[in-house]
Structure 1
Amino acid sequence: MKYIIIGLGNYGGVLAEELSLLGHEVIGVDMSEHHVDALKDKIATSFIINATDEQSLSVLPLKDVDVVIVAIGENFGASVRVVALLKKKGVKHIYARAVDDVHKTVLEAFNLDCILTPEKDAARSLVQLLDLHVNVESFRVDEEYYVMKFKLPACFVGYKVSDLSLEAEFGLKIIALVKGKKILNALGISILEHEVENHFEEDYELEAEDELVCYGLYKNFMGFWKAL
């Protein structure tokens, strides 16, 4: 896919580099020469322009990419103006970063494809790690619902999947089981290998290296971990 990322600071820069590493064509845009120079050898093309200027924005191939991502966060006015200009130019698919609830509320008025809240998601992940001692990979479906993958709690080892009753007790639906097993690699070193199973046996006995993938309300996940 082809992306234009406007704003190549800490967030936008990492986003551009990671998408490029995955094989996507990324066009980076920033008014800072320093930010552009840091990525010029890592992405397809880059532009040093002020994207809040409508004439400058016109040099970008806006109609030839799949998604335009506005990664500007700290400069509230610039973020909103760029989004407004993109909508005016008829860009069909726009993602935009919001740094707080006010920013998010304003962006919602533009009816965008996706509003990104990386700061909030990162803070939640840190809380889970520090307070609940749970290392989680999460995907936010909307403001309230998440899909989360986490290592099987020690107290569940030896139980059958059917014994957990997560949906009945906590409103969390198990959508996949990631089975972990130790194998020997070519050098004879023991390594951990995971295998995803979407259709798992209800009488399967859970093991210490397994992981669960669940769907539900964020508050229900918090309630589940606090109850352990």
Structure 2
Amino acid sequence: MKYIVIGLGNYGGKLAEELTVLGHEVIGVDVREHYVDHLKDKIATAFVLDATDEIALSVLPLKSVDVVIVAIGEDLGASVRVVSLLKKNKVKHIYARAIDDVHKTVLEAFSLDRILTPEKEAARMLVQLLELNASVEPFQIDEEHYIFKFNVPAKLAGYGINELQLEKEFDLKIISLIRGKKAQNCIGISILEREVANEFPEDYIIQPEDALVCYGLYANFMKFWKSIR
């Protein structure tokens, strides 16, 4: 795929490099010459160019790339103007970075393909690493909703699923039960076998090797997880 990355600071520069490593063709753009010099030998093409200038922006192949990513974060005015010019030029797919809620709210008015919030996502990933550990696998649906697969903590073994009251107390919907049982493979080594059950009795008694999959707000799951630690 072909990308244009506008804004080659810490975030945009790394993004351009990583996309190139994956085999994509990347055109990098920044008004600051030293950022362009740093990347010019690492990506397909790099321009020293003021993307807020409509005439300057027009030299870029905006119609022939798959996605234009506006990675400008610190300058709200520049970010919004560049996005506005890209929309004016009828660029089909635009991603843009937002560094705070005000920035995000303004960008939402443009109906972009995606608004990127790397600082918030990085903070959340760190919290997940510190608080959830390897027992939980989160899958993000949107900014606030997740699917969580988690190994049942030992302290919950012996309780019925209905006793957890996930839906009533935390507004978390259980999607699946993953039954676990210890077995031996063909050479006698102990292994854990898993069986997914999308339907199960509400009074099913949780076993130590079981796991659950649930859906709901990130904040609600964190409250639940904190309550059982």
Alignment size in residue pairs: 207
Q: Shift of residue 147 of structure 1? A: 4.1
- Match in the other structure for 2:64: 64
Q: Please tell me whether the aligned partners of residues 144 and 217 of structure 2 are also in contact (alpha carbons under 8 angstroms).
A: yes
- Match in the other structure for 1:82: 82
Q: Please tell me whether the aligned partners of residues 30 and 50 of structure 2 are also in contact (alpha carbons under 8 angstroms).
A: yes
- Match in the other structure for 2:154: 155
- Match in the other structure for 1:26: 26
Q: Please tell me whether the aligned partners of residues 72 and 79 of structure 2 are also in contact (alpha carbons under 8 angstroms).
A: yes
* Alignment CA distance shift 1:46-1:167 (3 Å): farther
For residues 184-223 of structure 1, what are the structure 2 equivalents within 5 Å? 200-201=196-197, 207=209, 215-223=215-223
Q: Please tell me whether the aligned partners of residues 49 and 56 of structure 2 are also in contact (alpha carbons under 8 angstroms).
A: yes
Compare CA radii of gyration and give the structure with the larger one.
2
For residues 65-214 of structure 1, what are the structure 2 equivalents within 5 Å? 65-130=65-130, 132=131, 134=133, 140-147=140-147, 152=151, 154-155=153-154, 168=167, 170=170, 171-174=172-175, 200-201=196-197, 207=209
Question: Hey, what's the Cα distance between the residues in 2 that align with 1:118 and 1:7?
Answer: 14
Q: Shift of residue 142 of structure 1? A: 2.7
Question: Hey, what's the Cα distance between the residues in 2 that align with 1:79 and 1:69?
Answer: 11
CA shift digits 1:88-139 (9 cap, x unpaired): 1111111111111111111111111111111122222333444x35467755
Question: Hey, what's the Cα distance between the residues in 1 that align with 2:20 and 2:213?
Answer: 28
Question: Hey, what's the Cα distance between the residues in 2 that align with 1:28 and 1:166?
Answer: 51
- Match in the other structure for 1:14: 14
What letter is aligned with 1:76? L
Question: Hey, what's the Cα distance between the residues in 1 that align with 2:89 and 2:63?
Answer: 9
Q: Compute the TM-score of the two structures, normalised by the length of structure 2.
A: 0.73
What letter is aligned with 2:34? H
Unmatched 5+ stretches in structure 2: 181-193, 201-205
Question: Hey, what's the Cα distance between the residues in 2 that align with 1:18 and 1:50?
Answer: 23
Q: Shift of residue 16 of structure 1? A: 1.4
What letter is aligned with 2:20? S
* Alignment CA distance shift 1:175-1:17 (3 Å): farther
Q: Shift of residue 200 of structure 1? A: 2.4
- Match in the other structure for 1:3: 3
What letter is aligned with 2:196? F
Please give the secondary structure, in 2, of the residue aligned with 1:62: coil
Root-mean-square deviation (Å) = 3.6
Q: Shift of residue 155 of structure 1? A: 2.7
Please give the secondary structure, in 1, of the residue aligned with 2:115: strand
Q: Please tell me whether the aligned partners of residues 166 and 172 of structure 1 are also in contact (alpha carbons under 8 angstroms).
A: no
Q: Please tell me whether the aligned partners of residues 173 and 216 of structure 1 are also in contact (alpha carbons under 8 angstroms).
A: no
What letter is aligned with 1:61? P
Q: Compute the TM-score of the two structures, normalised by the length of structure 1.
A: 0.73
Give % identity.
64
